Structure 1
């Protein structure tokens, strides 16, 4: 119960599987608390199918278990499935099983007032942003209590501004994110931690990765990829902007995964910042030409990229 959340924090799927195997060997996997932690661990490490499998085979579930699986589907962009699970949980209560929605969930179901948290604000911001109500979004974020974590809300606003091409609010969101978040991105593979920064030259494979990315860039160009140089904020010429894009930390991590894992293996990247538009488009092309599924975990959600498409529908 202590180690599994650590596996989540490091996106250490291999270690999480080891703990799962240990739980099975020691007859602990059927425990409701351990099972709930496994549901959460697999979901947050990008394995929604394994998370659901654990959930389905649990002999006993409680409200924590149900919350974990509902949140899992929400994080992976499967809103309809999450809502169906919520309705199923409420139905369990009426069939006499020992599952009862907690106070906040009951309020939500009855459409009555919810005492808002930072996550509630972030969700409403995301919904309004998708609808293009950016001025209302800006007012809502500013109205959030000072003690609330506003990173998710500002990230959602920035994404909405990019989609709806609203520069004014986008600049405001970007400035606040730069103030709140350190510019550090970490990526994890197997049992080792590999850290990449933009234009990385310190990693032992840096030279090899940059060379591979140049080749990869040429291949995806032939498939229709066009570099989005608006993602580069430096005042340099277009050619230099394209070179800078090629060295983004996310691309370096993906290149590392391609070169250091067997063909067909899923590549998992963990980021503590949102993915830029150019990296998102490029990764879609890369997933198609190399025949890999690429799962990118950002602050509060996942991008599943496969065969040139992304689970987010190009909105994040």
Structure 2
């Protein structure tokens, strides 16, 4: 195997081992903050408390870490992928706009992290194309947040390992727990849709009328039977009386090819959608982008597995 190919194969093999992502910091000769992203961090000893990490000999920061006598290791949280990328680049002011303070030994301590280890440099070893730095931990801190992981050459998400649990449904006694998936999906839907339902009530509308507006905003014109077929699975398919009520409110108009929204109907839909959008934005503040993406992927998979016979309500 050629040299470059052998190195790539070795790197790929190492990549199967999932690691945390850290930022190591210290102070340069002129007192400037120095930092690099590293995923080579590991524990060495509990008594005395020792940790190690490695730095490429080609790194611009090598002399600062070799001569300062101290460093801080920040285990990054899952929300800090951007910060990891910033500190991984070569050159530039990596600390611009970053919240940090001087630590116990003088190393910069970032404002956010999953865990922090402030270290006095105890040993430095040659390690091929890297320098291995061993530090004695003189202060540490940990926070209850998910860590950022690296696996297979890319960022990854921590997933809790499933453990043994009691059945979520007791058919014999007619009971279920709050771990019952059907209950969780149903309750989440009920609670997240409540602001929209309250808004519709103030408009004098029901869910069937709202879904009709939503459907026609994305696929129009549609005949009455097509609307009913596409919304049948919701339990809110509009009948002739419901469509007539929407016409009376100026929300719909019937043309030669089917039903369409009026301008007033579109405005009413947008106003109602804004409620849901604001609610989603509020929820997003409590989750990482990766958690939201994974949640949506799981919900899409549930929809795929349970809805082969359900017509698509809207297009792409």
Give the TM-score band, short-chain normalised.
under 0.3
TM-score (structure 1 length as normaliser): 0.25
Q: Decide which structure has greater helix share.
A: 1
